[in-house]
Structure 1
Amino acid sequence: MLITRSPLRITLGGGGTDLASYYEKREGFLISAAIDRYVYILINRTFDQTILLKYSKLERVKEAGELEHPIAREALKMLELEKEPLEICSMADIPAGTGLGSSGAYTAALLKALHSYKGDITGARQLAEEACEIEIGRLGEPIGKQDQYISAYGGINCMTIRKDGFVEVEPLNVTEETLYDLEDNLMLFFTGYSHRAGKLLEEQDKKSRGRDEEMLKNLDFVKQMGLESRKALERGDLRRFADIMNVHWEYKKKRSGGMSNPEIDGWYEYALKNGALGGKLIGAGGGGFLMFYAENKAGLRRAMGRLGLKEIRFRFDKEGAKRL
């Protein structure tokens, strides 16, 4: 049996500027961090000459083209394994639809597993580009390139997406002390809501392609906040980074009415009154995880506990997609 894993992620700045509808006009920039919560893929050969795919559903087919799961179908086609007798099982530390990039992580882990099965040696860039080709190129999903790249690379990376779509990946240049402080003081709380990011991203994509001036100005500002976040982090000014998170969240909410709701807004304000210095909702919006930067972690943990919000503790992942 062959096992691979790839990390989920949190966005530290510039989220939303990695969609083609924006970066093809203005170039994108964001900071993304892989965390030690993973999507796992297990692969084994079957004896009955079928493909057995296990996820939230169970599919058994004779060839990949019959699969309902779009990513698995296209990955098997891409690697010319359409009729290979395989059992493929996926598991995740955190469910899909919670804003941590699970789809991109699934695609990267699956490609890593299939390449490993074939005996291929693959680097992070190849995995990321192939994952983007599947999700964006072949399936036409209205998503950006952040999730596939950070899941393949791991670490905390600054990504500049050029107008031609090429992604420049550069590690965030922070001291070890700043890195540990950031890791210690960032906190994730599950809102209890799952969501489909596609609808919100589709709205953003449509407005950007239509050159909606308000949307483009919003994303211009978000990109600038991403660049400011980089400066703050690289000089170790984590309180400034927390302030930028608050500003970013206010602008993010303006992109769509579905980004938040009164309950999430209430939790957010309560957190700021109980130890959080800054925060935002992770992902495209509408649910998933609230992320806060807090120096008084115990106070914020107690406050969120009173609201019934579950904390998910994490550390940063440095390895990216890998075979176990």
Structure 2
Amino acid sequence: MIITRSPLRISLGGGGTDLPSYYRKHSGFLIAAAIDKYVYITLHQTFQKGLIIKYSKLEHANSVEEIQHPIIREALKLVGVGGDGEPHIELTSMADIPAGTGLGSSGSFTTALLKALHSYKKNIVPPQALAEQACHIEIEKLGEPIGKQDQYIAAYGGLTCFQFLPNGHVEATPLKVDNETLYNLEDNLLLFFTGYSRSASHILKDQDQKSRVSDKDMIDNLHFVKELGYQSQEALEIGDLHKFGDLMNVHWEHKKKRSGGMSNPDIDRWYTLAMENGAVGGKVIGAGGGGFLMFYADDKTKLRHALTQAGLREVRFRFDFEGTRTVIS
């Protein structure tokens, strides 16, 4: 039995500049943090003929090519598991948080899956290579209009700054925060589930298409958001968390301009309520349109009370510094 896990993530600045349609021309930058909510993959050999795949559906396949789940099919092919003459296997996935909620579950799923398959083959794969393989599957093989943030922060863990270079290379650098800032940030960032799930690919498709044709408004928006990412890095590294909260608010106002599907009347109402009840700044995590609202709070007790009274469910978290790892092998 092999069990792997990969952390979900929150974005702390610069989100959206990790799409190839942007960074291939302008370079991208963002800060992301892994959290202690995970996607798990289990893999073991069975006595049944064929491949058993369990996720939200149950698949029985006689060959890798028959597998309907595109990421699982491509990962098995990439690592070379499940071919003729190999022992029969069963793959199962589970998650602490549902998919489609903005915490990067697809990237976490892909990195956890690849880690399990490499563990099965006795391959040692460092975080950079694991993230590159996950991006290759999702972006290049399957053509998803998504960025690289999710795969990289899942693989590395921690609070990490990423530079996305035009040649496709990604540079990962730990955010240089002292322990007091880290603990205060962890204590005063609050996550609330909106009750909406959505497809990140659908939301990001419009941004990707506009970036590809160098739409001026979109490119200017992403330039500005990238600059906010650098400012957020500076604020966090000097311990100015109030400024970081202010920058989150500015980021959200610009993020909403990218797509009409970024927000909705409920999200706008909850956001206003939060800003009137202890929040310094916040945003919808991920592509937008639903999922989780995240706020940095001056008065977390007041904010927590206001939003839970409004019907939102809080999910408490800590940061994860292990990244994608094998739990049992």
TM-score range, shorter chain: over 0.9
Q: Does 1:209 align with 2:212?
A: yes
Q: Could you tell me which residue of structure 2 aligns to residue 115 of structure 1?
A: 118
What is the CA-CA distance between 1:280 and the residue it aligns to? 0.4
Aligned to 1:73: 73
**CA–CA distance in structure 1, aligned partners of residues 292 and 48 of structure 2:** 42
| Residue 254 of structure 2 corresponds to residue 251 of structure 1 | yes
- The code of the aligned residue for 1:51 comes to L
| Paired amino acid for 1:226 | G
Where do 5+ consecutive residues of structure 1 fail to align?
A: none
- What is the match of residue 269 of structure 1? 272
Q: Of residues 134, 137, 142 in structure 2, which corresponds to 1:134?
A: 137
Q: CA deviation at 1:199?
A: 1.2
Residue 295 (structure 1) shift? 2.5
For 2:255 and 2:234, locate their aligned partners in 1 and report how far apart those are by CA, in whole Å: 20
Q: How does 1:55-204 map to 2 (within 5 A)?
A: 55-83=55-83, 84=86, 85-204=88-207
- Gapped runs of 5+ residues in structure 2? none
Residue 42 of structure 2 aligns to a residue whose secondary structure is strand
Is the 8 Å Cα contact of residues 65 and 82 (structure 1) preserved in structure 2? no
* Cross-structure match for 2:21: 21
What residue identity is the alignment partner of 1:25?
K
Q: Is the 8 A contact 1:8 1:105 kept in 2?
A: yes
SS at 2:180 equivalent: helix
- Matched residue SS, 1:106: helix
Q: Secondary structure at the match of 2:186?
A: helix
Distance in 1 (CA, whole Å) between partners of 2:125 and 2:213 is 38
C-alpha distance after superposition, 1:52-109 (max 9, x if no partner): 0000000000111111100000000001113341100000000000000000000000
> Partners in 2 of 1:73 and 1:276 — Cα distance?
43
Give TM-score scaled by structure 2 length.
0.98
Equivalent position to 2:295, from 292, 297, 305? 292
TM-score (ref. length: structure 1): 0.99
Question: Aligned partners of 1:102, 1:174: CA distance in 2, in Å?
Answer: 26
Moved over 3 A (4+): none
**Any conservation in 1 of the 2:82–2:89 contact (CA below 8 Å)?**
no
1:264-311 deviation line (CA, Å, top 9, x unaligned): 000000000011111000000000000000121111111011101000
Q: Are the counterparts in 2 of residues 183 and 315 from structure 1 also a CA contact under 8 Å?
A: yes
Work out the number of aligned pairs and report it.
324
Identity of aligned residues (%): 63
- Match of 1:41? 41
Look up the equivalent residue of 2:322 and give its one-letter code. E
The 3-state SS of whatever aligns with 1:323 is: strand
Deviation at 1:122, TM superposition (A): 1.2
State whether residues 195 and 312 of structure 2, in contact with CA within 8 Å, keep that contact through their aligned partners in structure 1: yes
